[in-house]
Amino acid sequence: MSKQEVILCTELGSSLQEALARCPHDRLFLLTDVNTHRLCRPRLEGLQELAGVDEIVIGAEDVHKTLDTLASVWMALSQRGATRHSLLLNLGGGMVTDLGGFAASTFKRGIAYINLPTTLLAMVDASVGGKTGINFNGLKNEIGCFAPARSVLIETEFLSSLDSHNFYSGYAEMLKHGLISTTEHLQELLAFDTEQPDYALLKQLVGRSVAVKESIVEQDPHEHGIRKALNLGHTIGHAFESLALAQERPVLHGYAVAWGLVCELYLSYLKTGFPKETLRAGIDFVRSHYGAFAFTCQEYDHLYELMKHDKKNTAGIINFTLLHGVGDIALNQTADRDTLFETFDFFRESMGE
């Protein structure tokens, strides 16, 4: 898998111009959803680089990360004359960059694409690392492929239009990057004023967070080894997310990851000696900023079945990334049904449910 270029923009127009110049194309298409078309597309008005761009607008949020939406993007590209030499620019959050990347990587066996993420989650996670995909059969990212963007342009000015829930959704992935990197990075994330963000400082934190992910992806592009570190919080988090979707009470991905981090840090405490004081600090931060995911003991079996469908599993054995300590990663860990049910009990008790 080729290495994608991640650019922290100082001036969006010049960064975009450089990225487009490095990717020769016959036609340029711009993919947005209805929200980013309204809130973020106007910031690109007047850019000469986008003169004559052909725009495709899809529905917003994860409920539209579907095969039907994917087919509509393929159809638009086909009907509007896209060729194997065309270029797709994805302007939006993780749903747009995931689905747009998958559409590009499969249309005519693959056309080039550039990501311009507009949410914190997309900047630090979804748009970086080359994973693309859609939800299918009630499961998160069940269909997809590894296909990196030619460039990812990170412009934190887009975050000024982001609501607090989507801000915290992205911040959960930054916390994960802190947990798998250094105590210093984790502490600066826990201390950052998320209620009144200093956007200049946030840009620096985003840069450090992206660097953590880039370093891991470069070592292991296709997730055979250390890239599994990026799954911390996601095995249980994805189960929470899928349960909520099945019950028609969808939650933002980052919230599910934050709740998954609480559970998997507790598993780390039980199984790999993760420090109790760091576990407590993580629980306090998540409880204060994310609240709790409400579920009952009657739903434990459903959550367990959802985890058995996780893509990281081998031969039906649920696979976890856990931690011995901050930055001290324990890959390919397992937990039996009783231990997971104990973890669900702990989550509900510690989070005040």
200: which DSSP letter?
H
Q: Are residues 185 and 134 located together in one domain of the fold?
A: no
Among 9-13, 269-273, 311-315, name the most confident range.
269-273
Give the phi and the psi of residue 120 in degrees, each rounded to 5.
Answer: -65, -40
Q: Report yes or no on whether pTM surpasses 0.85.
A: yes
Bridge partner list, 23: none
Q: What is the pLDDT of residue 353?
A: 59
Q: Are residues 54 and 153 located together in one domain of the fold?
A: yes
Q: Choose the final residue of a domain: 161, 178, 205.
A: 161
Q: Are residues 201 and 257 located together in one domain of the fold?
A: yes
Q: Are residues 194 and 336 located together in one domain of the fold?
A: yes
- Reported as a single tens digit per residue, the pLDDT across 118-156 is 999 999 998 888 899 999 998 878 999 999 999 999 999
Q: Are residues 50 and 187 located together in one domain of the fold?
A: no
Q: What is the CATH number of the domain that holds 87?
A: 3.40.50.1970
Q: Are residues 152 and 181 located together in one domain of the fold?
A: no
Contacts 24+ apart (CB under 8 A), 42-49: 43/12, 43/157, 43/158, 44/12, 44/91, 47/12, 47/13, 47/16, 48/13, 49/13, 49/16, 49/17, 49/20
Number of domains in the chain: 2
Q: Which of 132, 52, 43, 160 is nearest to 91 (CA)?
A: 43
- CA pair distance 312, 318, nearest whole angstrom: 8
Instruction: List the domain range (segments joined by +) for residue 27.
Output: 5-161
The answer to whether 32 touches 57, Cβ cutoff 8 Å, is: yes
Give the phi and the psi of residue 152 in degrees, each rounded to 5.
Answer: -125, 120
CA distances (Å), 244 to each of 262, 291, 293, in order? Answer: 17, 15, 9
- CA pair distance 273, 250, nearest whole angstrom: 33
Give yes or no for residue 252 having a pLDDT over 60. yes
Q: Choose the final residue of a domain: 144, 161, 178.
A: 161
Q: Are residues 9 and 87 located together in one domain of the fold?
A: yes
Q: What is the CATH number of the domain that holds 330?
A: 1.20.1090.10
Q: What is the pLDDT of residue 62?
A: 86
The answer to whether 43 touches 158, Cβ cutoff 8 Å, is: yes
Q: Are residues 141 and 226 located together in one domain of the fold?
A: no
Q: Which of 141, 151, 79 is nearest to 112 (CA)?
A: 151
Q: Are residues 301 and 334 located together in one domain of the fold?
A: yes
Q: Are residues 174 and 59 located together in one domain of the fold?
A: no
| Six-digit token string for 218 | 């470069």
Q: How confident is the model at residue 2 (pLDDT cuts 50, 70, 90)?
A: low
Q: Are residues 113 and 204 located together in one domain of the fold?
A: no
Give the phi and the psi of residue 105 in degrees, each rounded to 5.
Answer: -70, -15
> Element (H or E) spanning 244, and its range?
helix 234-246
Q: Which of 140, 71, 64, 72 is nearest to 95 (CA)?
A: 64
b/e per residue 167-189 (b: at least 16 CB within 10 A): bbbbbbbbbbbbbbbeeebbeeb
Q: How confident is the model at residue 247 (pLDDT cuts 50, 70, 90)?
A: very high
Q: Are residues 136 and 193 located together in one domain of the fold?
A: no
Give yes or no for residue 311 having a pLDDT over 80. no
Q: Choose the final residue of a domain: 161, 195, 211.
A: 161
- CA pair distance 158, 180, nearest whole angstrom: 27
- Reported as a single tens digit per residue, the pLDDT across 34-60 is 999 999 999 998 888 898 899 999 999
Position 108: which residue type? K
